[in-house]
Structure 1
Amino acid sequence: MTDKSIDNAIVDPKVYASVDGFHELFAKLRKEEPVRWTEPDGYRPFWTVSKHADIMEVERQNDKFLNDPRLTLQTIETEEQVREFTGGSDKLIRSLVDMDNPDHRNYRGLTQAWFMPPNLKAIASRVDALAEKYVDRLEQKGGECDFVSDVAVWYPLRVIMTVLGVPEEDEPIMLKLTQELFGATDPDMKRSEESTITVNTVTEFFNYFTAITEDRRANPKDDVASVIANATIDGEPIGHVEAMGYYIIVATAGHDTTSSTAAGGLLALMQNPDQFAKLKSDPDRYLPGAIDEMIRWTTPVKHFFRTAAEDYELRGKKIRKGDNLLMCYWSANRDEDVFDDPFTFDIKRSPNKHLAFGYGAHLCLGQHLAKMEIKALYKELLARLDHIELAGDPAWVEASFVSGLKRLPVRYSMKRKAA
């Protein structure tokens, strides 16, 4: 590959949908140019950071490397659309992941307790019941289904909507908007209209959650939507844009990444029957490690950007103040210097220092909830699944930011449910 073709491949959504192609590209980068100046066609230039140690070095210094103003890969055309729509701003929304301190610390503190283990114990029985419900749905499908569209996308969606306070009948619109937002570059998921795809999707999110805000201010409930709607910082209500961003990040990241792990983990187990057999032999013993390995393996959030607040040297490269750095988490989670046999799916992997939840101040707020959901689903699934195999070719979302499987056709048999 030429230098330009490498740069273009780094941003190409189709590369992210070709698992082997992605890992071949980034293995080469880790070996030959782990911090690479990248100038792809149609994008503003940036540094591609592909190794685990370098990403950790950047992430732990959140005073020197900022989330604002550039957070994800967007074409120059899309960036111009956003600025036109917002009247000059680089962002359609302003959520936790866009913020730096002190805003990040203050806004994260509004809901952090909701997503910590002590509070999650209170909803554990509801999560278990939902896991049982969606494994029931698998059984009702009669031995063949698409695990992604029939089970994996709906179960974590119901969990996070329960926490947020969105009624079950509104889940289809939440799923549709999430898939359009994260899959805007995928021909199967993007909106049908040609222009301002992301702008229109975010507008629909704003309209929906504006109504939620008005309702929760008038009728507060014991849910996260009420916390956001009535939140104050330093005695002042949070801004409308910040509130909308909060809803959107909870509603979207709170289920899409978990569904990607649940489905990608099942595919990995089917492709590694020895690991599947080991997990089924003693779920209590092996499931915690298997969950972390599923998360490492799939790494649903493929990247975030950071912007240098000052000049800095990283692995001998001169990073200039204002330069953008692409943190490639999926690559870091295959780093040969950190993981023994990184391309082997190993449910006993220990330690498993994956970066799928990020690192440092921006460590994923929902990581404990995500692990709880996956554990509940697989505990139920392993107890009732007798056999499962692929019933067709899996397919991945064509997206460079948040992505995973979009199709996983399976054929299976299940044990009769205990009365």
Structure 2
Amino acid sequence: MAADPTILPTAVAKQVIDPHAYAEWDGLLDTFDRLREQSPVAKVVPEQEGLFEPFWLVTRYDDVMRISKDNAGFLNNPKPVVFSFNEAIEFSRAATGSNMLVDSLVVFDAPIHPKYRKLTQDWFMPRNLGRIESEIRDLAHRTVDRMIDLGPEIDFVKEVAGPYPLRVVMQILGVPPEDEPRMQMLTQQLFGGQDADLSGTGMEDMTPEQVVQLVAGAVKTFEDYFADLAEKRRANPTGDVASVIANATVDGEPLPPRDMAGYYIIVATAGHDTTSASTAGAMQALAGDPEQFARVKADRSLLAGIVEEAIRWTSPVQHFMRTAAEDVEIGGQQIKAGDWMMINYVAANHDPAQFDNPRRFDAARSPNRHLAFGAGAHQCLGLHLARMEMRILFEVLLDRIAAVEPAGEARRATSTFVGGLKSLPLRVTPA
């Protein structure tokens, strides 16, 4: 019997869900290039029955954009919004009654989602963020001071790209500096549980059950921490995001404890880990291209382009899952109501039909309508903050350094969900 052409070969299907494949970036992009041409919408089925629910992989930019903007036709619930093995889903349901260990903005559909998003949306708009720009600039200067003091050879991820956005987000949440290492460790366990270096487990290959248990422990610690913080902010509100969430009401009622914890967790984790990845990616690109570094140093009008291109080029959030609400055709395939789908942002943001020479980092790329922030109702809440953080940091960096070059091999995290560089050795020459 001939193989079903809509089903990906086992070796390719494994690559799509293998966290190690996302650490081998060029090979993964090669695979997505072939799929976009040959099977832009194709089914991924497990080699071992029952390991995970089959899903449709979507790799073309136009298809991913269509799905991202149609939040009524493609739901975040009732199935997990991040690729999960059945074992992990069952664990989560037993522990929480939900498909996901954390219920947050990325999980909810209308009518809940817009009500929850509205609670903090104004806080994250540029007009309000202008109030904290000077604080962020001071932090950027302190970060670069420390980088230069530690130089000339540093790990840019460890010394700059990791701690800088972490401190920004912790400031807006009102988390004290002494708790930041704990927040960083928990974030790495939540998003980097598949990477032995980031999760701190010392294990090279964890089973799905071990990964989900690690994540569950991190979630519980987060929940306990933010429950205490919320209680303090209800008693003594301030102007930070933590106070907004702690005192928020929806339809006249305070947020349920689980939903409130999920709100804190998504701000505390996604708010810095993704920006860290984009920041490191921008610096990697400039360190490897002295001519582009010189152009940007001489012409700061290119900074906005650097930020946007870094976010596209790195695509820190590598995928989300959606569930079809009704029968629909995507990319020539008949999708049934209830089918699970992976919209892969790495593939979409490297689609040559949308981006000329997509593997090249081009600070002058225009237009650059990437999908790294998503689109539609679920577009990233913190996109203005991320852009501002990166712009300010690179303004300071370009003022303070004369040259930068690689000083070793850059290494990517092994993760299917949130990814990026975990190490970037550089040699920095101060100005």
Deviation at 1:208, TM superposition (A): 0.7
Deviation at 1:40, TM superposition (A): 3.1
Deviation at 1:189, TM superposition (A): 1.8
Read off the aligned partner of 1:63 and give its amino acid letter. A
Could you tell me the TM-score, scaled by structure 1's length? 0.96
Read off the aligned partner of 1:368 and give its amino acid letter. H
Aligned mate of 1:353, from 369, 377, 380: 369
Equivalent pair of 1:191/1:197 in contact (CA under 8 Å): no
C-alpha distance in structure 1 between counterparts of 2:335 and 2:355, whole Å: 27
Aligned equivalent of 1:339: 355
1:65 aligns with 2:74: yes
Alignment map for 1:149-168 (pairs within 5 Å): 149-168=158-177
Alignment map for 1:377-392 (pairs within 5 Å): 377-392=393-408
Q: Deviations over 1:87-111 (max 9, x none)?
A: x421212100101111110000000
C-alpha distance in structure 1 between counterparts of 2:185 and 2:84, whole Å: 21
Aligned equivalent of 2:3: none
Equivalent pair of 1:304/1:327 in contact (CA under 8 Å): yes
Aligned mate of 2:20, from 14, 22, 26: 14
Any idea what SS the aligned residue of 1:300 has? coil
Equivalent pair of 1:272/1:345 in contact (CA under 8 Å): no
How many residue pairs end up in the alignment?
A: 413
Q: Deviations over 1:266-302 (max 9, x none)?
A: 001122222212111112x111111111111111000
Any idea what SS the aligned residue of 2:122 has? helix
Aligned mate of 2:113, from 77, 94, 104: 104
Deviation at 1:82, TM superposition (A): 1.4
Alignment map for 1:302-321 (pairs within 5 Å): 302-321=318-337
C-alpha distance in structure 1 between counterparts of 2:87 and 2:274, whole Å: 27
Aligned equivalent of 1:190: 199
Aligned mate of 1:78, from 62, 82, 88: 88
Aligned equivalent of 1:375: 391
Read off the aligned partner of 1:161 and give its amino acid letter. M
Aligned equivalent of 1:55: 64
Alignment map for 1:36-51 (pairs within 5 Å): 36-41=42-47, 42-51=51-60
C-alpha distance in structure 1 between counterparts of 2:243 and 2:52, whole Å: 39
Deviation at 1:366, TM superposition (A): 0.4
Aligned mate of 1:301, from 309, 317, 321: 317
C-alpha distance in structure 2 between counterparts of 1:235 and 1:77, whole Å: 38
C-alpha distance in structure 2 between counterparts of 1:235 and 1:12, whole Å: 44
Gaps of 5+ in 2: 1-6
Aligned equivalent of 2:9: 3
C-alpha distance in structure 1 between counterparts of 2:86 and 2:109, whole Å: 24
Read off the aligned partner of 1:303 and give its amino acid letter. H
Describe the shift of the 1:136–1:191 C-alpha distance in structure 2 as closer, same or farther (beyond 3 A). closer
Gaps of 5+ in 1: none
Read off the aligned partner of 2:104 and give its amino acid letter. S
Q: Deviations over 1:114-164 (max 9, x none)?
A: 100100111111111111110111111031111101111111111111111
Describe the shift of the 1:142–1:59 C-alpha distance in structure 2 as closer, same or farther (beyond 3 A). closer
C-alpha distance in structure 1 between counterparts of 2:302 and 2:231, whole Å: 46
C-alpha distance in structure 2 between counterparts of 1:93 and 1:345, whole Å: 34
Deviation at 1:26, TM superposition (A): 0.5
Equivalent pair of 2:76/2:108 in contact (CA under 8 Å): yes
Aligned equivalent of 2:148: 139
C-alpha distance in structure 2 between counterparts of 1:412 and 1:128, whole Å: 20
C-alpha distance in structure 2 between counterparts of 1:296 and 1:372, whole Å: 16
RMSD: 1.4
Deviation at 1:191, TM superposition (A): 4.8
Read off the aligned partner of 1:23 and give its amino acid letter. L
Aligned equivalent of 1:171: 180
Equivalent pair of 2:326/2:338 in contact (CA under 8 Å): yes
Any idea what SS the aligned residue of 1:305 has? strand
C-alpha distance in structure 1 between counterparts of 2:237 and 2:383, whole Å: 26
Aligned mate of 1:127, from 130, 136, 142: 136
Of 192-201 and 2-11, the range deviating more from structure 2: 192-201
Equivalent pair of 2:44/2:56 in contact (CA under 8 Å): yes
C-alpha distance in structure 1 between counterparts of 2:359 and 2:107, whole Å: 32
Aligned mate of 1:363, from 379, 382, 387: 379
Aligned mate of 1:236, from 242, 253, 257: 253
Aligned equivalent of 2:34: 28
C-alpha distance in structure 2 between counterparts of 1:288 and 1:7, whole Å: 37
Read off the aligned partner of 1:97 and give its amino acid letter. V
Of 359-368 and 385-394, the range deviating more from structure 2: 385-394
Read off the aligned partner of 2:384 and give its amino acid letter. H
Could you tell me the TM-score, scaled by structure 2's length? 0.94
Aligned equivalent of 2:287: 270
